[in-house]
Structure 1
Amino acid sequence: MSFIWKPDLYLEKLYAETEVIRKRNGSDSQDQEQLRNKLKTALGSFEALDGTQPALDPVLLESTDLGDVIRERVEYSSADGLRVPAYVLIPKHGNGPFPAVLAWHGHGYGSREVVGLLPDGSEDTGALGIHRHFALELCRRGMIVIAPEIVGFGDRKLTWDTEQNPDTPNSCFPIAAALLLAGKTIAGLRGYEAIRSADYLTTRTDVDASRIGCMGLSGGGMVASLSAALDQRIQAAVICGYSNTYKRSILSRRHCLDNYIPGILLHAEMPELIGLIAPRALFIESGISDPLFPIDATEVTIERVSGIYASMGVQERFTSDLFEGRHEISGRRSFDWLAERLSAGGRAISS
């Protein structure tokens, strides 16, 4: 069988063509706001046709005292017809209003995974998984942490999808496919809901709206990076197990359809999109043995993002940590870094 029958070479040439186009259009030196607008267009719009969005209409569903932390479950509106369930962790000690963090889970069983719960909602007292209950860790450092259920996971899987297969891990593919047919993307919807979640945080009297950060792993890292790039209320971001290049990660293996943004490579590679967070504070964390996001490309991304910060004269606002590990959160430096950047003044109760 001839190798040329396979599309490998064609796709390699296609990627090379996007590099030529980006260079020709001066993507490396283009204005941040110009690139941000191109990203918004590629992601799709999620406001109503008249340009409005529904009232948040938040509802408190439950509240649990964990001793050092109050865990609430709330819901609020994002787009018309969409309600978002989320856990909110509140420090019991210290004086508010507190800084706040948006915590974004990766692929798994959803928001319960980052707040110390099992899929059935019971307390998780076993070994820590790849998410390390990081929302709890951040709350114990003096921050209010909201962990929304990302659309397509946990309680937000499609009804028909779960009816056909109760064990389906997520509904990413059918949601993404439906959105693509309507000229939208699931990455855009998740980024939009992240912004609406920040809107909700600003309505809380116990939150200092001038001190909002975000942190996410893997697909949650994508949500963290996109939302921080688009929403300048986010003052500090931690991206775990995601920062790479499209060429070496998303295009080098089968990835979830939620990673693909139509036409984005005509305007920027992933490092330049992450660079839209500058000049605000950014921490990139990645395991050196991560099989999904190869460390060599992560190092390239760190170098390119570092260059963006240096060009703005704010090199000290960017840092990174490459740790001994795989596709997981470490937190060995990032937890305290985020608390310091948001001036939480807290100290971890447990680690």
Structure 2
Amino acid sequence: MWHPDDYLKQLLDDVRPAEAFEARTTEEWRAWQARLRAKFAELLAEPANRREPAPVLLEAADCGDYTRERIGIATYGNLALPMYVLKPKAYRRERGAVIALHGHGYGSRDLVALNPDGTAKTGDPGYQKNFAVELVRRGHLVVVPELLGFGDRKLAEDADRGDSCHRLSTNLLMLGQTMAGHRVYETLRCLDYVLARGDVDPARIGAMGISGGGLVASFAAAIDERIGAVVVSGYANTFQASILAIPHCIDNFVPGLARLAEMPDLLALIAPRPLLIEAGSRDPIFPLRAVDEAHGKLKAAYALLGAGPALAYDRFEGDHEISGELSFDWFAGLWASREEVAP
């Protein structure tokens, strides 16, 4: 009788998100979108002292049909972010660019077919399936940032551990900031870098993320319309059925977010831009029934805006993993029908 189970259940049952999607007209939609986007950005808490990227080349490799560079950019304060930039040797501007965002694991190297020590990966590609390489081989320029707390961006004390999510997240929360916000806003600094390159059509920039990278991709696109198309893999769900019901890394938590909006409401901020959701039937941390629920709510938002075909759903037989059946060719299909924009 002393256990707080019933108390917590009551707290969660009583949640009524203040900005749930209920628009019935496009005018109501625009007002709702502006309100929620501003409040959401405030909760994420952009870090202080934004800096210009000032890119520096760290290494370069010839990978046959594409090149792989590692580039460092400045982001906020004294933070610097390394990222891989994959570019097809036969790259054309109209093929566009994709920001590829990794989930939990050993960081950006996993997406570019490298082991943690930088040697070439062989055998099982893992749950992220080298998806940055799959995208560059479809002709896209692909930018793969090392998200804060992973890979080379762990705290020194965590050098022999998988990540620095816990220490960084808890300290940021005590300072009124969030890990999600840092990762989202640093991704937008990567977007600034892409736009400054001069070889990418601004109308053809997308983002794709898996798991925690799905959070970053969806949240970044929700607050910044420069991201024109999004693939969210192994993340789209409801907070009630996933983040608040199943143990998750603390980097997922943003104070007050559940009282502001449910996850489908935040994803609906992406509309009417193209959005593809990937969901595995056996995903143990983002239950499929709740993906279906989220997709149903998103269909209503896209339908209101006359953008139904822009919402796609790959509901595949699999675990917590990239599918790729639709997503690897999805950006190319979206952009192929548009007229080429002259450089």
Q: Same fold (TM over 0.5)?
A: yes
Measured against aligned partners, the alpha-carbon deviations of 1:315-337 in whole angstroms (never above 9, x if no partner) come to 11111011010000010111111
Matched residue of 1:277: which SS? Answer: coil
Q: Tell me the residue number matched to 1:349.
A: none
For the aligned residues, what is the CA RMSD?
1.5
Q: Give yes or no for the alignment of 1:12 onto 2:9.
A: yes
Deviation at 1:11, TM superposition (A): 1.3
Q: Tell me the residue number matched to 1:197.
A: 190
How far, CA to CA, are the matches of 2:283 and 2:257 in structure 1? 24
Deviation at 1:246, TM superposition (A): 0.6
Q: Tell me the residue number matched to 2:44.
A: 43
Deviation at 1:7, TM superposition (A): 1.5
Matches of residues 69-148 of structure 1 in structure 2 within 5 Å? 69-96=66-93, 98-148=95-145
* The one of 52, 62, 75 aligned to 2:59: 62
* The one of 291, 297, 301 aligned to 1:304: 297
Matches of residues 156-195 of structure 1 in structure 2 within 5 Å? 156-162=153-159, 166=160, 168-195=161-188
Amino acid at match of 1:45: E
Q: Is the 8 A contact 2:92 2:139 kept in 1?
A: no
Q: Is the 8 A contact 2:100 2:145 kept in 1?
A: yes
How far, CA to CA, are the matches of 2:337 and 2:70 in structure 1? 23
How far, CA to CA, are the matches of 1:344 and 1:9 in structure 2? 54
Measured against aligned partners, the alpha-carbon deviations of 1:39-61 in whole angstroms (never above 9, x if no partner) come to 0111112133xxxx222110011
Q: Is the 8 A contact 1:106 1:221 kept in 2?
A: yes
Q: Is the 8 A contact 1:213 1:342 kept in 2?
A: no
How far, CA to CA, are the matches of 1:224 and 1:202 in structure 2? 17
How far, CA to CA, are the matches of 1:139 and 1:242 in structure 2? 23
Taking structure 2 as the reference length, what is the TM-score of the superposition?
0.93
How far, CA to CA, are the matches of 1:159 and 1:201 in structure 2? 29
Q: Give yes or no for the alignment of 1:241 onto 2:214.
A: no
How far, CA to CA, are the matches of 1:231 and 1:111 in structure 2? 23
Deviation at 1:160, TM superposition (A): 2.5
Taking structure 1 as the reference length, what is the TM-score of the superposition?
0.91
Deviation at 1:210, TM superposition (A): 2.1
Matched residue of 1:208: which SS? Answer: coil
Matched residue of 1:132: which SS? Answer: coil
How far, CA to CA, are the matches of 1:93 and 1:344 in structure 2? 19
Q: Tell me the residue number matched to 2:341.
A: none
Q: Is the 8 A contact 1:117 1:123 kept in 2?
A: yes
In structure 2, relative to structure 1, the CA distance for the partners of 1:293 and 1:184 (3 Å cut) is: same
* The one of 22, 28, 37 aligned to 1:28: 22
Deviation at 1:154, TM superposition (A): 0.4
Q: Give yes or no for the alignment of 1:288 onto 2:281.
A: yes
How far, CA to CA, are the matches of 1:27 and 1:184 in structure 2? 26
Deviation at 1:26, TM superposition (A): 6.1
Deviation at 1:231, TM superposition (A): 1.1
* The one of 302, 310, 325 aligned to 1:317: 310
Deviation at 1:344, TM superposition (A): 9.2
Deviation at 1:342, TM superposition (A): 3.2
Q: Is the 8 A contact 1:69 1:90 kept in 2?
A: yes
Q: Is the 8 A contact 1:287 1:328 kept in 2?
A: yes
Deviation at 1:94, TM superposition (A): 3.9
Where structure 2 has 5 or more consecutive residues not aligned to the other structure, the ranges are 24-30, 339-343
Q: Is the 8 A contact 1:130 1:327 kept in 2?
A: yes
Deviation at 1:97, TM superposition (A): 6.1
Deviation at 1:155, TM superposition (A): 0.3
How far, CA to CA, are the matches of 2:88 and 2:113 in structure 1? 15
Matched residue of 1:332: which SS? Answer: coil
Q: Is the 8 A contact 1:28 1:272 kept in 2?
A: no
Aligned residues: 331
Measured against aligned partners, the alpha-carbon deviations of 1:134-192 in whole angstroms (never above 9, x if no partner) come to 00101111100000000000000011233xxx2x1100111111111111100011110
How far, CA to CA, are the matches of 1:237 and 1:339 in structure 2? 12
How far, CA to CA, are the matches of 1:26 and 1:338 in structure 2? 29
Measured against aligned partners, the alpha-carbon deviations of 1:268-325 in whole angstroms (never above 9, x if no partner) come to 1001001110111100001011001000001001111111111111111111011010
